[in-house]
Amino acid sequence: MTELTNLGVKAIRDGVAGGDFTAREVAEAFNTAVAEAAELNAFIVTTPDHALAAADAVDAKRARGEALGAMGGVPIGMKDLFATRGVQTSAASHILEGFKPEYESTVSQNLWDAGAGMLGKLNLDQFAMGSSNETSYFGNVVSPWRKAGGANTDMSPGGSSGGSSSAVAARIAPAATGTDTGGSIRQPAAFTGICGIKPTYGRCSRWGVVAFASSLDQAGPMARSVEDCAIMLEAMAGFDPKDATSLDMPVPDWEAALSADLKGKKIGIPKEYRMDGTDEEILKSWEQGKEWLRDAGAEIVDVSLPHTKYALPAYYIVAPAEASSNLARYDGVRYGLRDLPDGAGLQDMYAATRAAGFGDEVKRRILIGTYVLSAGFYDAYYTQAQKIRTLVAQDFANAFGQCDAILAPTTPTASFPLNSLNEDPLTMYLNDVFAVPASLAGLPAMSVPAMLNSDGLPLGLQVVGKPFDEQGVLDVGLAIQQRAEFEAKPEKWW
Amino acid sequence: MSSYRIQGATGEWEVVIGLEVHAQVTSKAKLFSGASTAFGAEPNSQVSLVDAAMPGMLPVPNRECIRQAVRTGMAIEAEINKYSRFDRKNYFYADLPQGYQISQLYHPIVGEGSLHIEADEKAGIPEDKVIGIERIHVEQDAGKLMHDQHPTMSYVDLNRSGVALMEIVSKPDMRSPAEAGAYVRKLRSILRYVGSCDGNMEEGSMRADVNVSVRKPGEPFGTRTETKNVNSVRFVMQVIEYEANRQVDVLENGGSVDQETRLFDPNTGTTRTMRSKEDAHDYRYFPDPDLLPLELEDGFLDECRASLPELPDAKRARYETELGLTPYNARELTAEVETFARFETLLAATAKGIGKPEAEVATQVANWALSVAPGVMKSLGEEANPAHATAEAQASILDMQAKGEISGGQAKEIYEIVLKTGRDPGEIADSEGLKQVSDTGAIETAIDQIIANNEDKVAEYRGGKDKLFGFFVGQTMKAMQGKANPAVVNQILKDKLG
């Protein structure tokens, strides 16, 4: 019998439904794999009982002949940014350590309603701020991948959804939720050789997701195939009246409509993404990607996104500005950490609590955000950044006049060793240079594994689609997947 | 025209006043959450996850609050902005769970409008005046801190956290405490007519930030101070009086007025510095990214407009022109929602009972409603049961009076009994003998007797001493024990005395 932990979402769902194995067997197999993979530090909290209870419910349904749901019997990892009732929801921060919400996020509830179970809460960069998973209060996640001949150096799984990418790549979870504010699904997916899609802004409810930058935050699935992403995104998405920015549109049946036939489709190649400092092997994978899409019947066209170079600076104004305000609620008054020094007044309590509760990167972004919103600087920074955001979105709108989807690298480099970039925040920020424009424009965007580089590390290709056209993105992703035949998996060392 | 001036050592000073009135929107739920807004509940019993700013919670605008703000804007003839937006005002305080207040700085929902205040010589308002309104925006209220529950700690009650407020910002168009008082009263009246705020200043449903500056007449505006959270009309006027005089003193002693935020102490009637401009917060306003811009559709605006009641100015004009009431009565009756509502119910019932058009009985009903009925109620004090003051009972009394069945004095007596007991007025009139005698036979008999007994006075009267007529009336009424219909008595006396 196939090792259950090698199976993805579709295979597990169909296998459970078809009686090849029970949901409980699947949950037990993954619970064991999770328990054995503590060295990856992918989970902050494990919830084997949750996975088993959900599995038993699915098995019972099957026994009664009832429908099992789109994710029936699939245990998943839940990024620890989603509120889960009665289970610690920390955003990988000290300030929320021990916080157990009395509510369930809309996205996680949707997944449970679709028959999924929870293996545990996945590690991440603190408050989703980071690109390497090194800012977590609970220690960095380690990628299951290692450089060929790299003397067993621990590599970054990417961030902020690094627990998700590591767990899915290591086969200790068939799929996981992620959130993407400026590349936090796509970059870690690329680093670990898996798929991840950020849908159009508003597809997935933000209700119950710890906020980083409200106008950018979007949840999405991370899994090992395009089909699995389609299935899981369908379960996660949907209009939610509790989120005023939620899209009031029906959720299409993306899985059923998947097609790798790109005849008649035009794929745009943005010339501005050919940046100085981009790894040669990344550029090579991009060329390869064009070939694959041509092979799938698409026409490759050059497009221009002229404001691309301003996107990253604009992002690092807008996102910290929103974060500085969103994180004001962590003040020690109502929940979470409270540091009340002897004789302290209210202001002292705020200062002590927030000094102790937030990590360096979070503090850095709160400071940046506070600065750019200050009187006298607001127009120079925030207003300008919003204008750039409009121009970036306009760039995409113009490009989509000439093409159906855009192909680009996901990241400018492959994964890097842990602790190699954290002295230099700007270099770290640059890792999201290709991911951020689609975030600013609110567009659906996906990373699909393309190949291994000469170090034996995965490289991803990014597909960006028109607003609401997740189908188009998934179809291009499927065409790449079928031609890349990416079968590589990290050798188990943990 | 007499203007309000402060007499300083260096001459006359003019006071310039602008008011920011915070009015709690009448709605069952808060501005961005479904929690209840009822006053006086147990602390923290009306707090949703959103109000407590739990992680991942999101605001969703409450349509009814938006509707009430729009209706209020329409009632002050203001421009309604079909596009508006919510902004975050960021600051830390224990009564502000989110660490920011959701408000509208850049694009308020209501733009410029105006409000009329009427001349009132007695109150010191020489002529009618239009006070400009700059804007109305909607925003969240904060929670409440309680410092008297524990020796070293403060308690937080979040029941008010997130309740919808309208901030109604006037232009600096007022020039005296009296004008400011009239403005607040008029605004309160409009809000209550519209039903968008209960106007209850004691419960904090309405409070004002009072901006005051002084200048020599004709000179540019001086530096203003802002006194926060003043919660009665009288206090608003006190603040202005005190602040204006204080500022004049400062200026005449060679000082300058600091632009600052001040607090009012109702016990002393004075204000003191709360924070100076240097300590002013940098609120770091920016558009709330959790909320999309508000775009109002024509259908929604039409519905808001159609739902507006007749407003105070229009009602007052109608009372004068259609009902023929005096300007004083019209103003008094239209000032408060309860007053006009009682009047209109009573007017309708009375007109129906008597079978005459409303215009013909309006003056009688107005006098009753404004002076007679409240007078009786007041004289009875605790003995009166207001529940007995029904329109039916009062209409029935007015009906009897109009038909001459009872006198004005009897009407009062009957109403006293009604208020105490709730008995039927007609039944009271019958059983208590509170009826006028209009029976000409009985009155004629009494008059014949009086004429027979006072032949000398009859001769004097007939000789030209007209004043004696009153004597005969008095004698007749006395003989009739006060129950004769005066009109009938007069008529018969005139006939008989010739």
HEC-encoded secondary structure of chain B: CCCCCEEECCEEEEEEEEEEEEEECCCCECCCCCCECCCCCCCCCCCCCCCCCCCCCCCCCCHHHHHHHHHHHHHCCCCECCEECCEEEECCCCCCCCCEEEECCCCCCECCEEEEECCECCCCECCCEEEEEEEEEEEECCCEEECCCCCCCCEEECCCCCCEEEEEEECCCECCHHHHHHHHHHHHHHHHHHCCCCCCCCCCCEEEEEEEEEECCCCCCCCCEEEEEECCHHHHHHHHHHHHHHHHHHHHCCCCCCCEEEEEECCCCEEEEEEEHHHCCCCCCEECCCCCCEECCHHHHHHHHHCCCCCHHHHHHHHHHCCCCCHHHHHHHHCCHHHHHHHHHHHHHHHHHHCCCHHHHHHHHHHHHHHHHHHHHHHHHHHCCHHHCCHHHHHHHHHHHHCCCCCHHHHHHHHHHHHHHCCCHHHHHHHCCCCCECCHHHHHHHHHHHHHHCHHHHHHHHCCCCCHHHHHHHHHHHHCCCCECHHHHHHHHHHHHC
Rounded CA separation A188/B46 (Å): 42
The distance in angstroms from the start CA to the end CA of chain B is: 55
Spatial contact of A138 and A44, defined as CB atoms under 8 Å apart: yes
Query: Which top CATH class is B440-497?
Result: mainly alpha
Q: Does A355 touch chain B (CB under 8 A)?
A: no
Q: Does B291 touch chain A (CB under 8 A)?
A: yes
pLDDT in tens, B81-126: 999 999 999 999 999 999 999 999 999 999 999 999 988 888 889 8
pLDDT in tens, B329-353: 999 999 889 999 999 999 999 999 8
So what's the pLDDT on residue A111? Answer: 98
Q: Work out the pLDDT band at B266, boundaries 50, 70, 90.
A: very high
Looking at residue A155, the DSSP 8-state letter turns out to be B
Q: Give the percent of chain B with pLDDT over 90.
A: 75
A88: exposed, middle or buried (Cβ count in 10 Å: 0-12, 13-18, 19+)? middle
Q: Which residues of B touch A362 (CB under 8 A)?
A: none
Mean pLDDT, chain B, rounded, equals 93
Looking at residue A379, the DSSP 8-state letter turns out to be I
CB-CB: which of A91, A215, A370 is closest to B284?
A370
Within 10 A of A64 (CB to CB), how many other CB atoms are there? 7
Q: Does B106 touch chain A (CB under 8 A)?
A: no
So what's the pLDDT on residue B407? Answer: 84
Average pLDDT per block of 10 residues along chain A, 494 residues long = 88 98 98 98 98 98 97 98 98 98 98 98 98 96 92 93 98 98 98 98 98 98 98 98 98 98 98 87 97 98 97 98 98 95 91 97 97 95 98 98 98 94 83 96 98 97 98 98 96 94
Which chain A residue has the Cα nearest residue B61?
A: A244
Spatial contact of A180 and A218, defined as CB atoms under 8 Å apart: yes
CB-CB: which of B53, B58, B88 is closest to A243?
B58
pLDDT in tens, B3-31: 899 999 999 999 999 999 999 999 999 99
Q: Which residues of A touch B99 (CB under 8 A)?
A: 325, 327-329, 331
Q: Return the closest-CA partner of residue B233 out of B258, B257, B261, B200.
A: B200
Tokens 């769902």 -> residue = A13
Q: Does A98 touch chain B (CB under 8 A)?
A: no
Torsion of CA A88, A89, A95, A97, to 10 degrees: 20
Given a cut of 90, whether residue B430 has pLDDT beyond it is: no
Q: Is A160 a catalytic residue?
A: yes
Q: Does A219 touch chain B (CB under 8 A)?
A: no
Q: Which residues of A touch B58 (CB under 8 A)?
A: 206-207, 242-244
Q: Is A242 a catalytic residue?
A: no
- DSSP lists the bridge partners of residue A459 as A451
CB-CB: which of A211, A347, A370 is closest to B56?
A211
CB-CB: which of A242, A333, A382 is closest to B58?
A242
- Domain spans of chain B? 9-303, 312-431, 440-497
Among residues A10, A79, A198, A466, the one annotated as catalytic is A79
Given a cut of 80, whether residue B279 has pLDDT beyond it is: no
State how beta strands B270-276 and A117-122 pair. unpaired
Within 10 A of A238 (CB to CB), how many other CB atoms are there? 18
Chosen CATH of A4-259 out of 3.90.1300.10, 3.40.50.2300, 3.40.50.1370, 3.40.50.150: 3.90.1300.10
Spatial contact of A444 and A200, defined as CB atoms under 8 Å apart: yes
Spatial contact of B33 and B48, defined as CB atoms under 8 Å apart: yes
CB-CB: which of A96, A245, A370 is closest to B292?
A245
Given a cut of 70, whether residue B451 has pLDDT beyond it is: yes
Within 10 A of B2 (CB to CB), how many other CB atoms are there? 9
Torsion of CA A38, A41, A42, A44, to 10 degrees: 100
So what's the pLDDT on residue B241? Answer: 96
Phi-psi region of B264 (alpha: psi -120 to 50; beta: other; left: phi over 0): beta
The verdict on a CB contact (< 8 Å) between A325 and B53 is no
CA distance B210 to chain A (A): 25
* Complex ipTM more than 0.90, yes or no: yes
Kindly state the helix (H) or strand (E) to which residue A458 belongs, with its residue range: strand A458-465
**pLDDT, mean of residues B266-289:** 89
**pLDDT, mean of residues B447-473:** 86
Q: Which residues of B touch A331 (CB under 8 A)?
A: 92, 94, 99
Q: Return the closest-CA partner of residue A79 out of A135, A199, A160.
A: A160
Q: Does A346 touch chain B (CB under 8 A)?
A: yes
Kindly state the helix (H) or strand (E) to which residue A461 belongs, with its residue range: strand A458-465
Greater confidence (B319 vs B438) lies with B319
Show Cβ contacts of residue A239 under 8 Å, excluding neighbours closer than 6 positions: A205, A246, A247, A248, A249
Q: Which residues of B touch A217 (CB under 8 A)?
A: none
The verdict on a CB contact (< 8 Å) between A89 and B292 is no
Among residues A184, A246, A415, A439, the one annotated as catalytic is A184
Among residues A131, A132, A156, A160, the one annotated as catalytic is A160
Given a cut of 60, whether residue B457 has pLDDT beyond it is: yes
Spatial contact of A40 and A166, defined as CB atoms under 8 Å apart: yes
So what's the pLDDT on residue A1? Answer: 45
Question: Would you call A376 helix, strand, or coil by DSSP?
Answer: coil
Rounded CA separation B329/B320 (Å): 9
Q: Does B60 touch chain A (CB under 8 A)?
A: yes
| Chain A 47-86, residues with CB within 8 Å of chain B CB atoms | 82-83
How is residue B154 written in tokens?
Answer: 């403060």
Looking at residue A281, the DSSP 8-state letter turns out to be H
Q: Does B97 touch chain A (CB under 8 A)?
A: yes
The verdict on a CB contact (< 8 Å) between A244 and B92 is no
A-B Cβ pairs (cutoff 8 Å, strict): 97
So what's the pLDDT on residue A278? Answer: 81
So what's the pLDDT on residue A2? Answer: 61
Spatial contact of B184 and B21, defined as CB atoms under 8 Å apart: yes
Spatial contact of B75 and B304, defined as CB atoms under 8 Å apart: no
Q: Does B162 touch chain A (CB under 8 A)?
A: no
Q: Is A214 a catalytic residue?
A: no
The amino acid at A44: I
CA distance A438 to chain B (A): 17
How is residue A317 written in tokens?
Answer: 């104004």
**pLDDT, mean of residues B218-235:** 95
The verdict on a CB contact (< 8 Å) between B56 and A209 is yes
A454: cis peptide before it, omega within 30°?
Answer: no
So what's the pLDDT on residue B1? Answer: 42
So what's the pLDDT on residue B2? Answer: 55
